Structure 1
Amino acid sequence: MTQTAYISHPDCLLHDPGPHHPERPARLHAVRNALLDEGLLEGLCLLDPQPATDAQLQRVHTAAHVAHIRASAPASGYQAMLDPDTVMGEHSLQAALRAAGAGIEAVRAVMEGDADNAFCAVRPPGHHAERDRAMGFCLFNNVAVAAAHALEHYALSRVAIADFDVHHGNGTEDIFRDDPRVLYCSSFQHPFYPDTPRAEREHLIHTPLAAGTGGKSFRAAIERDWIPAMDRFVPELMLVSAGFDAHRDDPLAGLDLDEDDFAWVTRALAAVASRHAGGRLVSILEGGYDLSALGLSAATHVRALSGVPGHQAFRSP
């Protein structure tokens, strides 16, 4: 059985962007409750992250951005609007530092042999946060912080990031646009938010999907675009931006995937990690806003990572 680490922290529940905001604390409750209901949590290696330091954040963000987020943290009882979608409450900075720190702890765990792979159940999410800009619910780019830590602290030379969130991870692309040590593969509904320009680079793999795309077409696109690129790249570590808002029940998007599609792509990525990276894989939660669909999808994802029976093993579509 594969040893999977589960990394979360109560601080991540404290980020409160308001009562009607879709990126709400109940998301993490939904994930944890689904893992408990399916009997998965007790088999995981539970780890606590430390907050990311400014030095760790500044590997991918400008010092001015980190200072701006710190300065924007509001006093008790107030909120700060960073853009129309991105809100900070009095505990949001604390939560964001823990979320970024979770990716660092996950990298440490898999690189030092404490776990084979890891899932970080954290919020706020990160993949829209650019080098010098918070947006799309994201303050710091959690997966980018994790990738930079792997590259610098563990002297890796090739890290792959797979992003199957329904929205393009413009922030991750912005940060690694000119860094060929990072292969960034992103599938996303198109046209759709954030609809930012996409760079043409050999190490940036774009997989746009039309609204209504279902599992068969999604799987074929991943087989066509991602797997050959990853096998050519030969990653030493696989990172995953695990957004579950491509689920057909998600209220903020329009793709037609289900839990079995997330199980399939998880196993596909784990197979790449097994071939090239000793199985080392770190997954970090991004989107997913229907609580039931999010919980089921995350549990399916963790089940696939840990090798617990319940879904078919990975095979090509």
Structure 2
Amino acid sequence: MTLPFFPLELCEAVIDHCHDIRPSLSACSLVSRSWLPRSRSHLFASGITLTANNIRTFCSLMDSQYCTMAPFIRSSVIFLIRVSSFLQLESLLKTVEQAFISNRLRISSITLVCIPHQLLHTSQLVALASTLTSLSLIGTLWYDEKESFSLKARRILDFVISFPSLETLEIGYETPGRIVPYTPLVSVSDCPRLSLPRLKRLQLGDIPYNAFLPWFLVPGAVDFPNLRFLSFFMGHTTLNVEPHLIQELLDRICAPTVETLSFWYLWESLPDLDLGAFKELRSLELYACSGDKSYYTKLPELISTVPTLGRVPLTVSVSEDSAFEPPAIDGVQWNP
């Protein structure tokens, strides 16, 4: 006797009702093949964190003929810290890449932590370009007499342009204890063209801005037509960024479309910036994580540069400080 099929919506409602009862979810996953995806989505996270300690185990599981988790993996953090040698690190990364590619994982989000920039230009992760929408690159750039910080930045951007479907991009390469002075680019003939038509969120961590931003500012090198959110973090020293580079980036690339602008500072005061070119700015976030609150005196002047006439109110958020009393400014709402 053939039993009637329940509507998929009803089946998923039953599974969702058991979302925090693991034995019931396990039972649901065995009802039929159509019940498996929804049940697994509650039983297991869609993201995996891979380290030097568990990469081999993960790859062994993926190679098993009984493995069922591959279709459900959507995001990954590859965290390779305290690896004994560069060759071992390279081997681990290649092992992960092969597992991703051979199992045809449809990864939409990847975070690479402590992956040397030298490995990016040979990385096979570019095979995920058709599905990847979120990329985070977090690590350290060390001084090297053979390669300038500007060329290191160029290598990283060359890797980024391999993923044209990105909607979120984070770059967070620090240079501990190293001041990177601004040096104009000698040649821009082979400048990477950073065309990311779907990019909505750009987060720039405590990077050597003096090395990265000149590549962004080459005429015609950057195309972010849908950029809505921009975040800067300048934590260790403002000597790694020339204010005029930030101003040019804001005016030429961000002002036409950005709706939310965020600045994070440590130990240093806010530089003088003019936000008059912004057309769609709705939210301004200003955070200084230090005991020095002198930068508050600059806030009214900075905010007054934002055109507010005939627009929705500008929402301004600042660091928590009970001693700060937001001034009344036309067209501005302070976020408590």
TM over 0.5: no
What TM-score, normalized to structure 2? 0.29
Q: Which has the higher contact order (CA 8 A, sep 6+)?
A: 1
Structure having the higher helix fraction is 1
| Larger Rg over CA atoms | 2
